[in-house]
Structure 1
Amino acid sequence: MLKPVMLSFAIMLGSLANLAIAEDAKPAEAAAPADAKFDPGVPAPKVADNYYDGAEKVVVHVSMDGDEKKYMGILGNVSNYIKALDATGKKTEAIIVMNGDGVNLLRQAKEVEMNADAKLPGKITELKEKGVKFDVCYNTLAGRKIKFEELYDAKPEDVIPSGVAEVGRLESQGYRLLKP
């Protein structure tokens, strides 16, 4: 008589264990939505209004090749820079200078602009709406035989003679260089 009771008990424990495993395998119902703000566990630092004095003008020099993820990271840095200064009431003058392989930022955006899941074109447009300029090196276009129409949302006034010379010129005018 003891054997049937032990057998029933073992079957019941096995069923409970399987139920627990099945429950663990289910996705969490109460998980935070993807757009919920993440709490890193430390309060955001407070800064004085003059904290970013002298940092209002920035040039971001992009000369390396990358994929959409890498370029989104660079553009995300520019967004964060603008946001940080905006929080203190400062307006940013940001210019992204692309030469060499960096021109591929706009080429890739052009290639994927019709893809529904492409983020790069939208981020470029968003930054342009915030006043960010995107300068393209003429030497790179001519030297690499890149047609102007291969670039996303570029205008003739965005073309500069030399990317590296433009970075130097902007630095002499008080722009701070960021090199991602």
Structure 2
Amino acid sequence: MQRRGLAAGIAFAAAGPAAAAPARQRVVYHVGDEGGPEHAAWRTALGNMRNHLDAVGDARLDLACVLNATGVRLLLRAAEDAAMAAQVAALRARGARFLVCANSLRGQSLAREALFAVPEADVVPAGVVELARLQAEGYAYIRP
């Protein structure tokens, strides 16, 4: 089923600028690891999210990012790194939500308040359950 969605996206891209605007999309990005050297994987995920918004348009994209396991540390890093904080803030300003796994916070002894501007409403009981819930609601799953 995901292959059909990918094929449709490729077909749309191949059609060029004369093609009709894409339909509304619902997408969840999954960040579940440390991010690697220089946090390159996190920067890639944030860049992919920005590019997705640019391509589809803010008004036509419901965008969420679920952070679990050591991926929650992206927002810990953003609390200390002005450039990363700016990327996260810019995505939020465009409607993206960053949903943080409460199990992961507890398991790593991290307080929500230590993360970059995470409202209580954006802490979910379990990241994997949230991913499954969003996919059941029609969100496409992307793990950059």
| TM-score normalised by L of structure 1 | 0.66
Letter in 2 for 1:46: P
Which structure's relative contact order is higher, taking Cα pairs within 8 Å and 6+ residues apart? Answer: 2
Query: Does residue 48 of structure 1 match 2:19?
Result: yes
Alignment root-mean-square deviation, CA? 1.9
C-alpha separation between the residues in 2 aligned to 1:74 and 1:156?
A: 23
- The counterpart of 1:111, out of the listed 74, 80, 86, is 80
Query: Does residue 146 of structure 1 match 2:110?
Result: yes
Quick check: which has more Rg, 1 or 2?
1
What per-residue deviation string (whole Å, max 9, x for no partner) do you get for residues 145-174 of structure 1?
111121011111110010011000000000
Bigger share in strand: 2
Letter in 2 for 1:139: N
Letter in 2 for 1:177: Y
- Per the alignment, residue 158 of structure 1 pairs with 122
Displacement, 1:72? 1.7
Displacement, 1:69? 3.3
What per-residue deviation string (whole Å, max 9, x for no partner) do you get for residues 37-64 of structure 1?
xxxxxxxx425225x336x100001101
Runs of 4+ off more than 2 Å:
67-70
C-alpha separation between the residues in 1 aligned to 2:68 and 2:88?
A: 17
- Per the alignment, residue 74 of structure 1 pairs with 45
Displacement, 1:91? 1.3
Aligned runs of 1:1-180 on 2, under 5 Å?
45-46=16-17, 48-50=19-21, 52-53=22-23, 56-66=25-35, 67-86=38-57, 91-113=60-82, 119-180=83-144
Structure 2 stretches of 5 or more lacking a match? 1-15
- How has the CA–CA distance of structure 1 residues 47 and 101 changed in structure 2, closer, same or farther, with 3 Å as cutoff? farther
Bigger share in helix: 2
C-alpha separation between the residues in 2 aligned to 1:97 and 1:47?
A: 34
Q: Kindly indicate whether the alpha-carbon contact (under 8 Å) linking 2:31 and 2:42 is maintained by their aligned counterparts in 1.
A: no
Question: What is the number of equivalent residue pairs in this alignment?
Answer: 128
Q: Kindly indicate whether the alpha-carbon contact (under 8 Å) linking 1:68 and 1:120 is maintained by their aligned counterparts in 2.
A: no
Q: Kindly indicate whether the alpha-carbon contact (under 8 Å) linking 2:99 and 2:124 is maintained by their aligned counterparts in 1.
A: yes
- How has the CA–CA distance of structure 1 residues 94 and 149 changed in structure 2, closer, same or farther, with 3 Å as cutoff? same
Letter in 2 for 1:108: R
C-alpha separation between the residues in 1 aligned to 2:55 and 2:125?
A: 31
| TM-score normalised by L of structure 2 | 0.82
Q: Kindly indicate whether the alpha-carbon contact (under 8 Å) linking 2:100 and 2:127 is maintained by their aligned counterparts in 1.
A: yes
